[in-house]
Amino acid sequence: MKKFLSNYKSTIILLVAIIVGAIAGIIFQEKATIVKPLGDIFLNLLLVIVVPLIFLTITTSIAKMESPKRLGKIIITIFVVFILTSIVAVFIGFASTYFVKLVEPEDGEQIKNSLETNVTQETEEEDLTIADRTVSLLTVDDFYKLLSKENIIALLIFSIIFGIAINMTGKKAKPFIDLLESANKIVENVVKIIMYYAPIGLGCYFASLVGSFGASIAVGYLKTFIYYIIVAVLFYFIMYTVYSFIAGGKKGVIAFWKNALPPTVTSLATCSSAATIPVNTESSKNIGVPDDIAETTIPLGTTFHKDGSIIGSVFKIMFLACLFGTTFTTAGEIAGVIGIALLANLLVTAVPIGGGTISEMLIITMMGYPVAALPILTMIATIIDPPATMLNVVGDTVSSMMVARVVEGKDWNKKENRKVEENV
């Protein structure tokens, strides 16, 4: 119990702060807005750090990247499996939320009016063509504009290019990489310091939010949490059974469920994908996945493959859509939501520090919502973190099975098959 409480300490504190804020908002109603400045401080601190956070973390990560020692076939297969399963996850996330109102739009209209102070570019973009909008989204015409939170996508692309350029330079770039790593560590500590204030900031922000707009928004968070739990549990049992069957037939299903419990329990207990790498790798090997495939797929999956986070991104988008009264009726609008959810995870979750905040900023920017909505997504991320981590982790286990099926053929788990046959 002590270990459990220790691992969940920060999440529990944030949840308690949010609950206390909600109760205070319900009790004091509009008087609770007196603490809004304390919540605004937290929001401003997040927005100030987001630009250096994106540049340093992405650039450093790519600059340090080394060529994989595994066979090219394994690496290619891993990413094909990751992309395909991520697409399945995002479609299921969208299908499960499309007909559900996570929060009532009339409440969202009031919130939208209070957040509009950060929206300044709407009138300027009305007459732009799709091509012009794409260019302005992906690039800027002056370097200093990269330092603005309004140009997150352009900054992200520049950071990737800059990181690749450093990587291409080779050994001569090592002093600069060392400088970037040092700066990255400093930014990491800045984020930690800001997060010490998160319980106060989020608690006050939520108290002001509930006090201004009533308890319905708190009900919206509770509804989102319960609904996410239902979707996560169904996805866990149904989709991972289907994946394991694709990988190894009935014997693959038996082998998977025999060994799925350790990574499942560890992910829920630690709320950390990285912390489950050892037990998850061992579970994959026990299923019958060859050592080189298990030892490559699991660590890469921890960084690049997150079923739970992708579904969570769809929930965040649909939550904001309900708040702001946005509807998705055309194929293009639906494809946009799906594409943003995929981009916010396949690309951004590779960032080791602050990937969640960058992902949420990416969603807000590409959906055209005010950046002041960032704490709303932070709250959703907090309440769905445990089940999302579970799907992230176990999704890597079953992915290693499918990679083994492609690389080794249908008899990839002969060792485990013999064990199953003996037991049966």
| Mean of the per-residue pLDDT values of the chain | 79
* CA–CA gap between residue 401 and residue 127 (Å, rounded): 50
* DSSP single-letter state for residue 34: G
For residue 352, what pLDDT is reported? 41
Give me the amino acid identity at 205. Y
Angle at 357 between CA 355 and CA 362, to 5 degrees: 90
For residue 228, what pLDDT is reported? 93
For residue 243, what pLDDT is reported? 95
Residue ranges in the chain whose pLDDT is less than 50: 68-70, 117-127, 350-354, 416-424
pLDDT tens digits, 118-132 = 444 333 444 455 566
Domains and CATH numbers, the chain: 2-423 (1.10.3860)
The pTM of this model reads: 0.68
- Among residues 148, 191, 190, 218, the alpha carbon closest in space to that of 357 is found at 191
